[in-house]
Amino acid sequence: MTKNKKIVALFPGQGSQSVGMGKDLFQAFPVVRSVFEELDDTLSQKLSKIIFEGPIEELSKTENTQPALVAVSIAAFRVLEHMGVKKHDFSFMAGHSLGEYAALCASGVISFADTVLLLRARGRAMQRAVPLGEGGMVALIGADIKTAEKIASEASQAGVCEVANDNCPGQIVVSGQKLAMEKVVEVSGNYGVKRALPLNVSAPFHSSMMRPAADHMESVLSEVSFHKADVPILPNVSVRPETDGSTLRKLLVAQITGRVRWSETVRFLIDEQVGEMLEVGAGKVLCGLVKRVSDQVPCMSLGTPNEIEGFVNALSRKE
């Protein structure tokens, strides 16, 4: 269906959640209803009710957010498949942090049921890894990666401080101990950073402080079947195309403490002469980051019936 250009599926991560996400897909497509039914049955919880109706405080609990976002992504992907877009029409798949699990599910590496169970375990393990209030994250607005690394190095005198997310030029996130995060805010102006914004997160994600969560998830992941990917995955920590299931499993463990190298992911795709990037699931965060990295390749959000139908119709006209 997409013979003339390479397309890529991108799957969003934490921060893209909103009450009501996926509800219009649920109402419009029977194939989506089965996704949310499986979600609820697998978790023995009416998570779909929280996704559609809230409250946002309940949806934003890490153990709920992670499976919820992936469920919406897979629902949107199932609609694409239902409308004739095949898995093999995609040249690559990638996800931002927990979105990598959606990429693995969409490409056939892990089943949907295993995906949501893994994310429930991941959310709980990450929450337990560091007592509330002992860690945090700060977004450095207007910083490049080298500047962020210098700030992290200075702030690490006060405690653990590491670059967690290289999201795009001008938006780098550092993560670590509370005192170190306060030091980041204090010194960032000396490096020409426009703003150091403490994030409303419950833990220092993607830092070495998440080691207990990584150890736990290594054990949990070892019990799940990982298959060869039907579409090459670009893992966050390596940004190298990968299809081997056992390697992808190891990289999921490394991802918990490792850096999300999103800028590099987008640049890799541009170098591969990708023709279009598709943000499959809730929100438009990833398309915003893609545009900040480069406006060379269009990015389209596919999270509603109208967006998906518009994309499929445009593809049909180009054939």
- Integer-rounded Cα radius of gyration of the chain: 19
Give residue 132's pLDDT: 87
97-124 average pLDDT score: 97
pLDDT digits (tens, 9 = 90+) for 203-225: 899 999 999 999 999 999 999 99
* Positions marked catalytic: 97, 206
For all residues of the chain together, what is the average pLDDT?
95
Whether residue 4 has pLDDT greater than 80: no
* pLDDT (tens digit per residue) in 151-190: 999 999 999 999 999 999 999 999 999 999 999 999 999 9
In the predicted model, is pLDDT for residue 117 greater than 60? yes
pLDDT of 311 > 50? The answer is yes
Quick one: pLDDT band at residue 319, thresholds 50, 70, 90? low
Q: How many CB atoms lie within 10 A of CB 302?
A: 25
pLDDT 10s digits, 238-252: 999 999 999 999 999
Whether the pLDDT of residue 294 is over 90: the answer is: yes
Q: Residue 3 has what pLDDT? A: 53
What are the C-alpha distances in Å from 226 to residues 88, 108, 235, 245, 248? Answer: 19, 9, 15, 5, 8
Three-state SS string over 73-125 comes to HHHHHHHHHHCCCCHHHEEEEEECCCHHHHHHHHCCCCCHHHHHHHHHHHHHH
Question: Contact 31/63 with Cβ under 8 angstroms?
Answer: no
Quick check: 1 pLDDT over 60?
Answer: no
0.85 exceeded by pTM: yes
pLDDT digits (tens, 9 = 90+) for 118-160: 999 999 999 999 998 899 999 999 999 999 999 999 999 999 9
Cα(254)–Cα(211) distance, integer angstroms? 9
pLDDT of residue 200: 84
| pLDDT tens per residue, range 33-70 | 999 999 999 999 999 999 999 999 999 988 999 999 99
Per-residue pLDDT at 317: 74
Q: Output the pLDDT for position 5.
A: 83
Instruction: Determine the average pLDDT of the residues in 79-104.
Output: 96
Domains along the chain with CATH numbers: 7-129+210-318 (3.40.366.10), 135-201 (3.30.70.250)
Q: For residue 202, name the pLDDT band (cuts at 50, 70, 90).
A: confident
Residue % of the chain over a pLDDT of 90: 93
pLDDT confidence of residue 2? 47
User: Does pLDDT of 272 surpass 60?
Assistant: yes
Query: What is residue 122's predicted lDDT score, i.e. its pLDDT?
Result: 96
pLDDT at 318 over 80: no
